[in-house]
A = this chain, B = another copy of it.
């Protein structure tokens, strides 16, 4: 398809598509004439993905490039794509890192029977948050942490069910990024709704 059709089908303006190409977020089309190029379904999927990451998640071009870079390096190892692509999207800013909490996270991962790369960014995030809560005098106790981990495991099972049946490795990786990153705000929104409901029940009687 021409760039005009790619624009119409993706709902992204031609100028923005050209910007994505210049910024290395979208591969160029196949040249068909001096000023024309041909785009395929892969381009359409990629334009939609980039738009979702930038407009919906509010990621910077820099972070989006990092997320997509993981995708091209690590195919077809979906589990690496998951850990690393989302790792580019930082969850927290803090750098306080307690060795006690690090051991706590290692123990959790071990006892949950999880196989996780040593360099998975989520390890660090979790350690830093536990360290901060400890420093604020409201540490998360072991039982609570394990409750959350079990719920996270069930959530991940629901996540991965949605990827079943997708055979093309590139499409699988793109779908993975989309569901992971776009569902994060949705899941937090559900938690906030459930909290409001629960809290009304407990505190308004």
A residues sitting closer than 8 Å to B (CB atoms) are 11, 48-49, 52, 55-58, 77-79, 82-83, 86-87, 91-94, 109, 112-117, 120, 122-123, 125-126, 128-130, 132-133, 135-138, 140, 144, 147-149, 151-162, 175-176, 178-180, 182-204
CB distance from A88 to the nearest CB of B (A): 12
With a cutoff of 8 Å between Cβ atoms, the chain B residues found around residue A159 in the complex are 191, 195, 198
Q: Is the CB of B114 within 8 A of A189?
A: no
With a cutoff of 8 Å between Cβ atoms, the chain B residues found around residue A94 in the complex are 55-56
Residue of B nearest to A187 (CB): B148
Task: Report the Cα distance A170→B151, complex, angstroms.
Answer: 30
Q: Is the CB of A93 within 8 A of B55?
A: yes
Q: Is the CB of A186 within 8 A of B79?
A: no
Q: Is the CB of A120 within 8 A of B193?
A: yes
Task: Report the Cα distance A185→B135, complex, angstroms.
Answer: 17
With a cutoff of 8 Å between Cβ atoms, the chain B residues found around residue A120 in the complex are 192-193, 196
- Which of B109, B114, B125, B158 contacts A144 (CB under 8 A)? B158
- Please name 7 further chain A to chain B contacts, defined as beta carbons within 8 Å, in addition to the given A79-B196, A83-B196, sorted by A numbering: A56-B92, A56-B94, A92-B185, A117-B196, A149-B194, A159-B198, A176-B199
Q: Is the CB of B79 within 8 A of A200?
A: yes
Q: Which of A117, A149, A199 gathers the greatest number of chain B CB atoms within 10 Å?
A: A199
Q: Is the CB of A190 within 8 A of B149?
A: yes
With a cutoff of 8 Å between Cβ atoms, the chain B residues found around residue A122 in the complex are 188-190, 192-193, 196
Q: Is the CB of B138 within 8 A of A175?
A: yes
Task: Report the Cα distance A178→B155, complex, angstroms.
Answer: 23
